[in-house]
Amino acid sequence: MKAVGIIVEYNPFHNGHAFHLEASRKVSNADIVIAVMSGNFLQRGEPALVSKWYRTKMALLNGVDLVFELPYGFAVQKAETFANGAVSILDAVGCDYLCFGSESGDIDSFYRTIHYLNDEHENYENNIKQYMNKGVSYPKALALSYQQLPNSENFLDLSKPNNILGFHYIKAIIGQNSSIKPVTVARKNANYHDENFTSETIASATSIRKAIFSDEKKIKISQYVPEPTKKLLDEYMNHYGMYHNWENYWDYLQFRLIQASNEELQEIYEVEEGLENRLKAAAIQSTSFQEFMQKVKTKRYTWTRLQRLCVHILTNAQKIEMTKFTEKASYLRLLGMTTLGRDYLNQMKKHFRLPLVSKLSSFKEKEITLDITAARIYAMGLGGIQRQEMLKQEFIEPPIYIKK
Amino acid sequence: MKAVGIIVEYNPFHNGHAFHLEASRKVSNADIVIAVMSGNFLQRGEPALVSKWYRTKMALLNGVDLVFELPYGFAVQKAETFANGAVSILDAVGCDYLCFGSESGDIDSFYRTIHYLNDEHENYENNIKQYMNKGVSYPKALALSYQQLPNSENFLDLSKPNNILGFHYIKAIIGQNSSIKPVTVARKNANYHDENFTSETIASATSIRKAIFSDEKKIKISQYVPEPTKKLLDEYMNHYGMYHNWENYWDYLQFRLIQASNEELQEIYEVEEGLENRLKAAAIQSTSFQEFMQKVKTKRYTWTRLQRLCVHILTNAQKIEMTKFTEKASYLRLLGMTTLGRDYLNQMKKHFRLPLVSKLSSFKEKEITLDITAARIYAMGLGGIQRQEMLKQEFIEPPIYIKK
């Protein structure tokens, strides 16, 4: 069986994702689709709208055959590390292709850009250093330095978020000597960060989340998401009584910032010297996460990086643990499968290049601890019986199975 | 001016306290009454019903002239350390007397018991060791060992909570070579831990708190508390919308137990080897603080000690900090004064044997950090604007002044 891999967050699964899924199958001519998906906390440093279990169901009901969890240590990370972890998992489960959406839509432009940057290596690094010294954030420094290189306009536009991700996917494939063949499809309509609806059927996940949390109950998201998503979102609300957002975790973040010692905060991943005082002072002065972020924000740190840092404070993700996650994943956490996915698994798992984890209670690797803690901290956003249920679930839940 | 010192928690101030206050003034024939009072967290390991500022007002309106805070490092501690801190403060501000309530009511019996235990030192220690080896809790081992000594029935009944406290007050006075003269008055009617009302006007603070948190709104506490207490309790409810109890902090405790590393928990004061696993497991299985405590409870740890430990987890009070608080306080935090109290302060403060702190923002001692954190964690039990107000208040609030 030929397998195409995709790297997703599905927060939530929408028509744009369905388009990408179909295109991935078509351009690769693969028999099955394998997704690596972020867990309960996402690359942008946010809790997912609904749990990874519900997002796994969305994936399976919408055409994915196997879902593996991208470990926390890769998921809540900058694009480069995120890409390394995701590619290493797709490689370990024997994917033939990786298909990603991009603004460019042309795979050759990615290779040309990578080679070009190899050649311009020294200039590029120097430019980055200069921008960083001026107090510019790292991603911005990258983009500006790139733009300054001669003829860079002939290569990939690296100011576009999906081009950046794709660029890192291919660098990871090269770096890991993987035999995966990357293909890309042009993203349709909506831009990644669009907050407003601009098309009849395609909208960004950002705009869909905005509508979900909006007070205007009349805003309909049905036209932008497939039926299973709609059904699962309703089911989640019925069962858990809420969708998750940062404000559900603000009390905990504030509490921890007030009680933690400076030494403890300095051990948290991404907390740089002196930032702990700034965080503590802002925590005392703020009544919401949004207010807190506005107070903490500086030119040096992007909003996304600060949000990731806040997630790390919640999950107590320390430098000593997180720096183990840079190159490759060390286990495969199976979240769900269809019948076809199960067949693939049975046929192929003896060739998998990493240990397969179907149930946490029978797996003892230290590195998975962060995933468990993250899942439990996510559950803390809920109240009462629902919280308790999710706290216990993480350890005993078998992978989701969808017969089809 | 002659001063009598008292050691209090006033949770809340009730008629029994008023009786003790009057008696203290009378038996000592003192001009002013100085109280050392626990802050927002109490010796039994509980958040106070209302903040230390409101309890200071209760004290001043009911006849106390000066209120100093017993630092967190002495307040949330076993009787011996609690007594050391409190006595050292009363000594530092020049008290002539210390008057405490006891079940015994006879000061000589305290001295006789202390001397008797000195003589029986070896036997006593051996007995304690044997009980501890059997897994009995420390306070229980003390009481049982004492009872086993020959003729101990002729001395103080050390199974009574106020006798135990008094015993440690006098040991502290002797140990610190203080010139304070201890006097005791018999407690009237209600026993310390009584949960039910047994007299017309005197009830234990425990039974009053129980009534306050009871759903039966008809239970009247008015007959058991003086008018100012009633007024201040109502005012607190109007302003903050709640009274504090452990359940208001359960979410934070659960969160911290889930996210803390074992190493971090082992650094918390009173966390003994292996207990961290038991605490973590119980946190995941429980939906309330009461349920959690039932799960964690063992013969070895008293309920009170476990509650104190939980407060230390909330405030992140580490062994390395807490073990500095054993013998004597190192500062005097003034919480409030009457006109008479202010006169005493002006006249006597040059003789105070410890630095006087009237406002936190102008005091830099490292040791006061725990008091600040404790006050802020207490504020986290509130929501919204009220929380914010109390978070800021701790640092800027001048001592309360009551003109009379």
Provide DSSP, A311-324. Answer: HHHHHT-BHHHHTT
Q: Is A329 exposed, middle or buried (0-12, 13-18, 19+ CB in 10 A)?
A: buried
Q: What tens digit of pLDDT does each residue of A8-20 get?
A: 999 999 999 999 9
Question: What structural domains does chain B harbor?
Answer: 3-103+165-239+327-402 (3.40.50.620), 119-159 (no CATH), 246-322 (no CATH)
pLDDT higher at A141 or B169: B169
pLDDT reading at B96 higher than 70: yes
- CB-nearest partner of A380 from B258, B384, B392: B258
Lowest mean pLDDT among A126-135, A170-179, A182-191, A259-268: A182-191
pLDDT reading at A367 higher than 80: no
Probe site for chain B from A247, A250, A252, A378 (most B CB atoms < 10 A) = A252
- CB-nearest partner of B261 from A256, A316, A377: A316
Q: What is the pLDDT of residue B197?
A: 64
SS3 B99: strand
Dihedral over Cα of A31, A32, A33, A36: its sign: negative
Which 8-state DSSP code applies to residue A190?
Answer: S
Exposure b/e, A391-401, CB count within 10 A at least 16 = b: beebeebebbe
Q: What tens digit of pLDDT does each residue of A159-168 get?
A: 888 999 999 9
pLDDT reading at A192 higher than 70: no
| Inter-chain touch A284–B256, beta carbons under 8 Å | no
Closest CA to B207 of B62, B75, B12: B12
Q: Does A267 touch chain B (CB under 8 A)?
A: no
CA pair distance A366, A324, nearest whole angstrom: 11
- Residue in the structure block whose two tokens are 């690797």: A365
Which 8-state DSSP code applies to residue A187?
Answer: P
Dihedral over Cα of A210, A213, A216, A221: its sign: positive
Structure tokens at B79: 């009787």
A67 φ/ψ angles, rounded to the nearest 5 degrees: -125, 125
Compute the nearest-CA separation of A285 from chain B (Å). 7
Q: What is the pLDDT of residue A218?
A: 54
**Whole-Å CA distances, A187 to A96, A227, B238:** 22, 21, 56
Q: Does B40 touch chain A (CB under 8 A)?
A: no
pLDDT reading at B377 higher than 60: yes
CA pair distance B313, B297, nearest whole angstrom: 16
- CB-nearest partner of A259 from B254, B287, B377: B377
CA pair distance A182, A114, nearest whole angstrom: 14
Contact B204, B188 (CB under 8 A): no
Q: What tens digit of pLDDT does each residue of B55-74 get?
A: 999 999 999 999 999 999 99
| Inter-chain touch A258–B385, beta carbons under 8 Å | no
Contact A87, A114 (CB under 8 A): no
Q: What tens digit of pLDDT does each residue of B320-372 get?
A: 999 988 889 999 999 999 999 999 999 999 999 999 987 777 677 777 899 99
SS3 B71: coil
DSSP element (H, E) containing A271: none
Closest CA to B43 of B95, B15, B83: B83
CA pair distance A273, A153, nearest whole angstrom: 37
Residue type, A146: Y
With bands split at pLDDT 50, 70 and 90, how would you rate the model's confidence at A123? confident
Q: What share of chain A is helix, strand, coil (3-state, %, to 5)?
A: 55, 10, 35
pLDDT reading at B218 higher than 60: no
Give the ipTM: 0.93
